[in-house]
A = this chain, B = another copy of it.
Amino acid sequence: MFIVLGATGYLGSNFVKYLQKEGGNVCGLSRAESEYTNVDTLISILQSKKPDFLINAAGFTGKPNVDACELAKAECLKGNAVLPGVIREVCEDLRIPWGHVSSGCIYSGRRADGEGWTEEDEPNFSFRDGPCSFYSGTKALGEEVLAGAENCFVWRLRIPFNEEISPRNYIQKLVNYDSLLEAENSVSHLDEFVEKCVDCFEKDIEPGVYNMTNQGPVTTRQVTEWMIEEGVTDKGFKFFENEEQFMQKAAKTPRSNCVLDTSKAEKAGIGMRPVEEAMRDSMRKMAKEVMV
Seen from chain A, the residues whose Cβ lies within 8 Å of a Cβ on chain B are 35, 38, 73-75, 77-78, 81-86, 88-89, 126-128, 130, 137, 141, 144-145
Contacts and interface: CB of A to CB of B under 8 A. Distances in A.
29 contacts: A35-B38, A38-B38, A73-B81, A73-B85, A73-B141, A73-B144, A73-B145, A74-B81, A74-B82, A74-B83, A74-B85, A74-B86, A74-B89, A75-B85, A77-B77, A77-B81, A77-B82, A77-B85, A77-B141, A78-B78, A78-B82, A82-B82, A126-B127, A127-B127, A127-B128, A127-B137, A127-B141, A128-B128, A128-B130
A137 B144 CA distance: 13
A73 B143 CA distance: 11
A160 to B, nearest CB: 26
A89 B83 CA distance: 20
Looking at chain A's contact residues, is the secondary structure mostly helix, strand, loop, or mixed? helix
A85 to B, nearest CB: 2
Contacts of A137: 127
A144 B72 CA distance: 11
Contacts of A145: 73-74, 77
A77 B88 CA distance: 15
A175 to B, nearest CB: 36
A40 B113 CA distance: 50
Contacts of A81: 73-74, 77
Nearest to A129: B130
Nearest to A87: B74
A65 B286 CA distance: 57
A83 B77 CA distance: 10
Lowest 5 A-B CB distances belong to which pairs? A74-B85, A127-B127, A73-B145, A78-B82, A74-B82
A35 B144 CA distance: 26
A110 B133 CA distance: 28
A83 to B, nearest CB: 8
Contacts of A88: 74
